[in-house]
Amino acid sequence: MAGAAGLAAVGKAGASPSRVRTSTSDHRVIVVGSGFGGAIAALRLTQAGVPVLLLERGRAWRTGPNADTFPDPASPDKRALWHRGDPQLFGRPVAFDPYVGLIDAVVGDGMTAVTAAGLGGGSLIYQGMSLQPKEEIFNECLPESLDWPTMNRVHYPRVAKMLGLQTAPDSLVRRPEYRAARIFADRARKAALPISKIPMPIDWSYAQAEIDGRMKPSYTDGSGALGVNNGGKHSVDTTYIRKAFATGLLTVATLHEVLDVERLSDGKWGLDVVQTDVNGTTVARKKLVTPSLIMAAGSVHTTRLLMRARANSARDLPDEIGSGWGTNADRIYVWSNPELDFGVKQGGPVVFGSLNWDSPRTAHTVIQASIPPFGVNVHSTMMVGYGVSESRGRFRYDASTGDARLIWPASGDTRIQWRHIHPTALKIAGPGSVLTDSNRFVDTTWHPLGGAAMGAVCDLSGRVHGQQGLYVIDGALIPGTAAACNPSMTIAAIAERALDDIVANDVGVTI
């Protein structure tokens, strides 16, 4: 049921590509990664007249009504897993053929960090909760110099408009398919907890079309947990990247994985890149050179690549790279109660959440999410929690493997998770319920943050201290927590803020 939460990949992440010919080319700007940060960087730079090469290790996942692009979360196949490593589910091997699948889980000491692969990055597989923090919590968790009033007036609304955020209409929520959402909301109200609808990057008319029989189910039966097949989800490939394409200045190279970053003798940045087919087989090797490199490969992979560069060609990269890493205090529960009829098919992705944000120190959020259809009534649904995270891990570079490994403290996030998130989930679940915490199987976060954090490694706009032409515009820039929200809106708003600064001050100078 919580299967995707336990996916892990271990072992062969550093495997060498096959011997193939290497080509070399120069580019004005290279962006590594196509999630929120990379997509926003690509759009704003191309709109400013700057040609951009966007590298994405995964494939493009095109959807539309009645498509079968994404895997079924109730019965996942090779499309679910990234090919490098030995796929595992709850610590047991899964016999999938190699494929450039959606989920790449990086196993560390004490924590597994789930990352995404594919054009659109994490926006392909996230449920879509798009929450903006309160000012007091934002300033407690992030530098006040980010200027929350301006971000609240300019950057968060800009992201909301680009993603077409909407809450689920009441007419839809009243449908039988959304019984689980209504039960969650009723239970939260009876427990005297706050309840509100969650803004989502979704055209809810697609869900209504499914109910009307004009599309096969994707939203209304919980089968969109590993990507929504019908379309109507405003992931960044269909919003920011599509608009960047329209400028005529964006080149997208999917199935291009960056293995190493180095600083060259002339100060430019060189990338060792392999191009693969959809099965992960190397078909070409490339040396790409640029004076302006934007790292947007996500918290884990941006950090690992920068630490590898610091160990080799760029030894004066900041010592703090790899530190300040956090999990956003993630928790995923299966909520079971034999007395409750949540429905065999549960509409989603997310309708309601309980935003417990009265205190910056204890702020946390619990939302309800649908489970995939299993064909029988399992009297279960899901709850997801996250909150202000104080604990921090770090990556440690191992010269013998040429890679950095995540180290997470054994008691990390205990206070917020067990004193606040868990009691709230118990209050909502009520008597007779059982909460199964997926982290009991594999301690996991879907929201890794930090590793090249603002202040310690970068300025507020992602410029790496002391490194001309090197930027970080992704979750690695966020210092470990997204202020009791899932991170997508804050990563995007900070990226929009950063690109305003970069376009105004760096284009024509260092870019």
Percent of the chain at pLDDT above 90?
90
How high is the pLDDT of residue 87?
Answer: 62
The whole-angstrom separation of Cα 168 and Cα 339 is 26
Mean of the pLDDT values across residues 351-373? 96
How high is the pLDDT of residue 93?
Answer: 65
* β-bridge partners, 112: 107, 444
How high is the pLDDT of residue 13?
Answer: 37
Q: Is 75 helix (H, G, I), strand (E, B) or coil?
A: coil
Other beta carbons within 10 angstroms of residue 262's beta carbon come to: 15
Mean of the pLDDT values across residues 295-318? 98
The whole-angstrom separation of Cα 33 and Cα 212 is 38
pLDDT tens digits for 441-478? 888 999 999 999 999 999 999 999 999 999 999 999 99
Query: How high does pLDDT run on average in the chain?
Result: 93
How high is the pLDDT of residue 11?
Answer: 33
The whole-angstrom separation of Cα 492 and Cα 486 is 12
The whole-angstrom separation of Cα 424 and Cα 178 is 22
Q: Is 37 helix (H, G, I), strand (E, B) or coil?
A: helix
Amino acid at residue number 263: R
Strands (E), 11-160: 22-26, 29-32, 52-55, 86-89, 92-93, 103-107, 112-116
**Which residue ranges form the domains of the chain, and what is each CATH number?**
3-165+224-328+391-412+443-505 (3.50.50.60)
Rg of the Cα atoms in the chain: 22
Residue 306 φ/ψ, nearest 5 degrees: -70, -35
How high is the pLDDT of residue 289?
Answer: 98
Q: Are 487 and 329 in contact (CB under 8 A)?
A: no
Residue 398 scores a pLDDT above 80: yes
How high is the pLDDT of residue 5?
Answer: 38
Which residues touch 291 (CB under 8 Å, ≥6 apart)? 28, 267, 268, 269, 469, 510, 511
How high is the pLDDT of residue 7?
Answer: 38
